[in-house]
Homo-oligomer: A and B are copies of this chain.
Amino acid sequence: MPQKLSLLSATLGLLAVSFPAEPADDIKQPSGYRQWFHVNTMIVDKASPLFGELGGMHNVYVNLTGQAALKKGGPYPDKTMFVTDLHEFMVSDGSYVEGPRKALAVMVKDSKKYALTGGWGFQLWEGGDSKRPVVTDATKQCFECHQPKKDQDYVYSTYIP
């Protein structure tokens, strides 16, 4: 559990620091990620201290490049991309159901290009809108919280058969 929560603060903590600025790098929003492998789902509910920044249903996907490595717990080959497709949720009579998209966060592997952040580039778009990237400093906004997971190639998500 603590691992998953740390993942949240790592990949999405930047929601709390939403700069109306240029992105830190040239990461493009992927297309077709809804067709990727569904890694797992997690909900940050109102009772969580993280709700304000991270509340929602987190559907995590990985592209084909990273699938085999996911099952081994890393390391990941270049061009691996993870997506956190963050959705609103509604509670109805004790059940949590998925709502519309709230944000889209990615981490993409390029060992050389992103050598200073463990080989990973990071970006998040509010509302999933490609015109609203919020990562301007991947080290502070993303990588610092991923460092404890160095033994899993800085990825918190694990494979759930």
Contact = CB atoms under 8 A, between A and B. Distances in A.
Contacts of A43: 43, 95-96
Contact of A42 (B35, B47, B95, B101): B95
A50 interface: yes
A87 B42 CA distance: 12
Point out which of A42, A59, A100, A101 has the most chain B C-beta atoms below 10 A from its C-beta: A42
Contact of A46 (B40, B45, B94): B94
Contact of A47 (B4, B41, B47, B94): B94
Interface of A: 1-2, 4-5, 8, 34-35, 37-38, 40-51, 57, 59, 61, 87, 90, 92-101, 160-161
